Amino acid sequence: MTPEFFTRLSEQVASSLGTSVGFSDSLLQSAAVIVVLLLVRYLFLIVVYWQSKSPQIHYNYKRYSAQVAFVMGVFLIGKIWFEGFQSLATFLGLLSVGLALALRELLTDLAGWLYIVVRKPFEMGDRIEVAGVKGDVIDKRLFTFSVIEVGSRVGAEQSTGRIIHIPNNKVFTDTVANYTSGFPYIWHEIPVNITFESNHTKARSILLEITNETVEVYVEEARKSLQQAQESFMLKFNILTPAVFVSVGDNGVRLTARYLSPVRKTRATEQEIWLQILERFQNEKDIHFAYHTVRVRDIEKQDGSKP
């Protein structure tokens, strides 16, 4: 295709749309940029699909190639429509001023995307909590990232099945808690209430024994993970083994078992510990669970009559 062909085509488009030749020429160039970018991305993905059969690799390259093509398209098309300006800096300055108010949220989302890509506060598969939403990261895009929700409706550290889309700008306005990056363990606590008349010393010993037996497989793993995490973070955990703390409540003595658990196994470990607690305490005659009770005394006067 020769320049004369494009010139005649621009004149025909201008005549059909009733616009100037310069406008139609910019319009055709913009369309050409879009077609070329789509074609290049399509050919790139063909090579990727030919080189690898992994669905995960296909997904990542499709996502990133779309983002790169979008950014390149914005700059190239912007250059076409603002070619009268002498520098890209001038174009960017005027563009940012013109769009700052109308596209403020989108711009902050783009800035959030850059922060997520460069600083990496979380990666795909990480369990995070941001803007009051807890879940596992399943997608990262230019304007939003997505998590599959954990907890909330089900009241436990398990998936609800809901996919939540969160604007990227939330990484600037809200605290981002990462449960798995660096040190994929969290401290979990199980409160057990027993009556004041129970043998709390024996109950504490049994609870500590049960907790140690349940999570001892994770203690050494947590210690190795902590050593690796300390290369990047100032973590100072001196004790990684379980402990049982004693306190007094309104209805009895509270024993609180505290232990390290893998993030995605807190419910499983809690269930295993509770099953053993119920079995062991059932066989102890001097240990009883505490619960809300009402005691009524029948008081008699000295003459034997009731008040």
The per-residue pLDDT for range 229-261, each reduced to its tens digit, is: 777 777 777 788 999 999 998 889 999 999 999
Classify residue 251: in a domain, yes or no: yes
Same domain as 98, residue 131: no
Classify residue 296: in a domain, yes or no: no
Q: What are phi and psi of 178, to 5 degrees?
A: -110, 120
Q: pLDDT for 10-64, tens place per residue?
A: 666 666 666 665 667 777 778 888 888 889 888 888 887 887 777 767 777 787 7
Q: Can you give the pLDDT at residue 64?
A: 75
Same domain as 189, residue 169: no
pLDDT band at 203 (very low <50, low <70, confident <90, very high): very high
Same domain as 22, residue 98: yes
Q: The tokens of 60 are what?
A: 């990542």
Classify residue 297: in a domain, yes or no: no
Q: Quote the CA–CA distance of 228 and 126 in Å, as a whole number.
A: 17
Q: Can you give the pLDDT at residue 193?
A: 94
Same domain as 261, residue 236: yes
CB 193 within 8 A of CB 249: yes
| Non-local CB neighbours of 154 within 8 Å, separated by 6+ positions | 160
Same domain as 64, residue 134: no
Higher pLDDT, 95 or 207: 207
Give the range of the structural domain holding residue 94, as residue numbers without chain letter.
Answer: 3-102
Q: pLDDT for 73-131, tens place per residue?
A: 877 777 777 665 445 565 566 556 655 655 677 778 888 999 998 888 999 989 999 98
What's the structural domain count of the chain? 3
Q: Quote the CA–CA distance of 304 and 307 in Å, as a whole number.
A: 10
- CA Rg, the chain, in Å? 32
CB 232 within 8 A of CB 182: yes
The DSSP bridge partners found for residue 246 are: 255
Classify residue 114: in a domain, yes or no: no
Classify residue 48: in a domain, yes or no: yes
Q: Can you give the pLDDT at residue 291?
A: 81
CATH number at residue 235: 3.30.70.100
Same domain as 240, residue 212: yes
Same domain as 201, residue 173: no
Q: Can you give the pLDDT at residue 257?
A: 95
| Non-local CB neighbours of 83 within 8 Å, separated by 6+ positions | none
Domain edge (last residue) among 178, 196, 217: 178
Q: Quote the CA–CA distance of 73 and 69 in Å, as a whole number.
A: 6
CATH number at residue 137: 2.30.30.60
Same domain as 39, residue 22: yes
Same domain as 270, residue 227: yes
204 pLDDT exceeds 90?
A: yes
Domain edge (last residue) among 68, 102, 136: 102
Classify residue 301: in a domain, yes or no: no
Per-residue pLDDT averaged across 182-200, rounded? 91
Same domain as 97, residue 60: yes
Q: Can you give the pLDDT at residue 6?
A: 56
Q: Are strands 177-178 and 144-150 parallel, antiparallel or unpaired?
A: unpaired
Same domain as 249, residue 204: yes
Tell me the percentage of the chain whose pLDDT exceeds 70.
Answer: 78
How would you label 89-114 residue by residue, b for 16+ Cβ within 10 Å and e otherwise? eebeeebeeeeeeeeeeeebbbebbe
Q: Can you give the pLDDT at residue 28?
A: 73
Classify residue 56: in a domain, yes or no: yes
Determine the length of the chain: 307
Nearest alpha-carbon partner for 217 in 238, 241, 236: 241
CB 6 within 8 A of CB 28: yes
pLDDT band at 213 (very low <50, low <70, confident <90, very high): very high
Classify residue 242: in a domain, yes or no: yes
Same domain as 189, residue 165: no
Q: What are phi and psi of 86, to 5 degrees?
A: -80, -20
Q: What is the pTM of this model?
A: 0.60
Per-residue pLDDT averaged across 288-307, rounded? 66
